Structure 1
Amino acid sequence: MIREKMSASQTPMQEEDIALCQSVYDHICVARHISTDGEREELAIQILHFYQHGVKDQGSLERLLL
């Protein structure tokens, strides 16, 4: 989901950026019991938004989204 949403964004990301966002995505999906496609899509959008606006630490991203 992260790669799919990332391709629609204007900011190019490196592999390590994608991996960090994917890790946050996976953790939050489990922690919040996210199961619908709509919820997953919204989460991916939120992660990329925060990341592209300067929140680049995994712990900080997770705290924002839990």
Structure 2
Amino acid sequence: QYYEYMLEKPLGEGGSMNPYYESLLVNLPNPAPNAKDPRSRAICHADENFEYFYEIKHIDSINQML
């Protein structure tokens, strides 16, 4: 996951995180196993289908599809 990598290898002074990588659902923290809210469902779906590169903007679309 992107955030974990950035903690291990921080950017130098003045560096900033990549906004595209920050927006990918697979890079967000995993929700609780019993979470059923739309965001959590979308993150779980993105984790199972990482090849589609789902972003935060796709949460509504994913939930309509599920």
Would you say same fold, with TM above 0.5?
no
Query: For the pair shown, which has the larger CA radius of gyration, 1 or 2?
Result: 2
TM-score by length of 1: 0.29
Normalized per residue, the structure richer in helix is: 1
